[in-house]
Structure 1
Amino acid sequence: MLPYWAWIVVAGVLGLMVGSFLNVVMLRLPERMAFAWRNEAREILELEAVDETAPPDLVRQPSHCPQCKHRLSARDNIPLFGWLLLGGRCRYCKARISIQYPLVELLTALLSAAIVWRFGPGWVGLAGLVFTWILVAASGIDFRTQLLPDQLTYPLLWLGLLLSLLPMFVLPHTAILAAAIGYLSLWSLYWLFKLLTGKEGMGYGDFKLLAALGAWMGPMALLPIMLLSSLIGAIVGVSLIALRKHERDVPMPFGPFIAAAGWTWFVFGPWLMHAYAVFFGLR
């Protein structure tokens, strides 16, 4: 039996490998979604079919350089270290490789290690890893495209509801109630904001993501998640505007902030509640 610290290291290494796959998901899933939408639109509008090559799938097609299209070798695909060994450039055409790749791999490794540190190497830890990986993929896609795919938010929601039957994190009636409250709360804010301003303040994917987080953590987690996500979003938004990295009128995806707040509460919720109580003299 491995010692506890070794399981944390194993989780980090596994996170590196999964992070490499999540990069593929972030890049290819939106393209495949757009491809499917175009075909569905042509079919609904009864337009002539177009001979369009389907984007690469998530598993079978090997990785390649987006510039020269050269297939990457196994050593180039080593998570994190492949990018470092290449100096951030393609081995074949010397084009720059986006820093997204090593950042996502490193982030996934750190978050995975933190999950096993918090929940241990058993079934609860495994569920926490799946929860984490879906949030990383969904956040990356939303950050790049301002889309939160149903292919990620719905499985996260249903997995949370199914785990409540064990129960693993919350009881079934609690999970169902929290999912409903999470969805309807943001749905209500969306329509209130739209009626008052005529603009859309968020997307439907945000509703589904908060519903999924509610299914995993229960209704008592929803308010802290919303407060944390608003705080994180405000800090990031103001910082980007101050650094002139983002225009005031350009919409900013809210999904990554909800995901970050949800993961933080999932892992550190009890300690944050204790710190809050101590700070305000409630304990």
Structure 2
Amino acid sequence: MLELLQGSPGLLAGLVFAFGLLVGSFLNVVILRLPPKLEYGWRRDAREHLELPLDAEPEPPGIVVRPSGCPNCGHRLAPWENIPLLSFALLRGRCRGCGQPISWQYPAVELLTGLLFLACALRFGATPQCLAALAFTGTLVALAGIDVRTQLLPDAITLPLLWLGLLLAATGVGFVDPVAAIAGAVAGYLSLWLVYQGFRLITGKEGMGFGDFKLLAALGAWCGGWAILPIVLMSSFIGAIVGGALMALQGQDRDVHIPFGPYLATAGWVQLLWGESLLQWYRNLSGLG
């Protein structure tokens, strides 16, 4: 099977794209269900620690236990209503039970994940590195989606991503050697931590959350210590453009917090796939190559 995929790039691309659509459908569930589940656990832990009576609020559904359904009317989705992209088109973007519009997040995340998986397949081919890149990509999509919706980067996702990067580096399947992975994790965390402390000292405000530190540490474990500066510069550039556009179009206050996780995730993904090519392009452009 591996030889067939290695000799048939088109087949590999098609299978990986279809797999990406399925993974994107699952990531929608993670993005929507994980934050309420975590917040419910945090509230219970806090009340137990303070020796307060527990609330009678129902526990939010788990990620894989409860079947998918309409958040408005509770309509349980039939199998054909769970087909990525196609179901949204067949239903014309509306729930079959109540007729309410279905959020565009669902097809957007499915299509985005499929396209990003396709890019990984075209970049790495049928190799162990491609599988690693797919795991990296899916995790970043989930983190970006959660951060956009809730301004949270859960430890339940960032820390496994960090440890997986270190593990892959140690086993030789990763994209950098173990020393570079460890250096990247340390440099990633400390760099944003220092920026955070400096910003708070000067302005008295918190410019970012600790989840951003952990995410950049994870990106460093995957991409290496030398990649931290390009990732920070690229994410800051993207964030400045998108943030400026949002303030101009929506009239947002400058004090409104804009999640930084999606920009870090975008920059880290680009760095993993094309970091060396971008560095060589810059060297050639500047005459240093």
TM range (shorter): over 0.9
Instruction: Confirm or deny that 1:236 pairs with 2:232.
Output: no
| Aligned counterpart for 1:188 among listed residues 172, 191, 194 | 194
SS of 1:190's partner is helix
Residue 117 of structure 1 corresponds to which residue in structure 2? 122
Q: Post-superposition, which runs of at least 4 consecutive aligned residues in structure 1 deviate over 2 A?
A: 245-249
Residue 165 of structure 2 corresponds to which residue in structure 1? 160
Whole-Å separation in 2 of the counterparts to 1:240 and 1:149: 25
Instruction: Confirm or deny that 1:273 pairs with 2:267.
Output: no
- TM alignment of 1:27-46, pairs within 5 A: 27-46=32-51
Instruction: Confirm or deny that 1:174 pairs with 2:180.
Output: yes
For residues 172-202 of structure 1, the C-alpha deviation after alignment (integer angstroms, 9 at most, x for no partner) is 1111111001101101110111111110000
SS of 1:239's partner is helix
| Aligned counterpart for 1:150 among listed residues 130, 155, 177 | 155
- TM alignment of 1:80-91, pairs within 5 A: 80-91=85-96
Residue 255 of structure 1 corresponds to which residue in structure 2? 261
The structural deviation recorded for 1:151 is 0.7
Whole-Å separation in 2 of the counterparts to 1:173 and 1:271: 22
The structural deviation recorded for 1:265 is 0.9
- Which stretch shifts more, 244-253 or 135-144? 244-253
Whole-Å separation in 2 of the counterparts to 1:270 and 1:202: 28
In structure 2, list runs of 5 or more residues that go unmatched. none
SS of 1:33's partner is helix
TM-score, normalising length from structure 2? 0.96
The structural deviation recorded for 1:241 is 1.2
For residues 60-99 of structure 1, the C-alpha deviation after alignment (integer angstroms, 9 at most, x for no partner) is 1001101111111111111111111111111111101110
SS of 2:250's partner is coil
TM-score, normalising length from structure 1? 0.98
| Aligned counterpart for 1:136 among listed residues 125, 141, 145 | 141
User: Are residues 245 and 60 of structure 1, via their aligned partners in 2, closer, same or farther at CA, if it must alter by over 3 Å?
Assistant: farther
Residue 65 of structure 1 corresponds to which residue in structure 2? 70
Percent of pairs with identical residues: 55
Instruction: Confirm or deny that 1:108 pairs with 2:113.
Output: yes
Whole-Å separation in 1 of the counterparts to 2:61 and 2:127: 35
- Which stretch shifts more, 198-207 or 263-272? 263-272
The structural deviation recorded for 1:245 is 6.0
SS of 1:243's partner is helix
Whole-Å separation in 2 of the counterparts to 1:37 and 1:192: 29
The structural deviation recorded for 1:278 is 1.8
Whole-Å separation in 2 of the counterparts to 1:61 and 1:260: 31
The structural deviation recorded for 1:8 is 1.3
Whole-Å separation in 1 of the counterparts to 2:252 and 2:95: 29
Whole-Å separation in 1 of the counterparts to 2:248 and 2:55: 45
Whole-Å separation in 1 of the counterparts to 2:105 and 2:161: 24
Instruction: Confirm or deny that 1:74 pairs with 2:79.
Output: yes
SS of 1:176's partner is helix
For residues 234-282 of structure 1, the C-alpha deviation after alignment (integer angstroms, 9 at most, x for no partner) is 1101111111163322110001000000001111112211221122122
Instruction: Confirm or deny that 1:55 pairs with 2:60.
Output: yes
Alpha-carbon RMSD: 1.0
SS of 2:53's partner is coil
Equivalent position amino acid for 1:183 in 2: Y
For residues 151-171 of structure 1, the C-alpha deviation after alignment (integer angstroms, 9 at most, x for no partner) is 110010000000111223111
Q: How many residues align?
A: 283
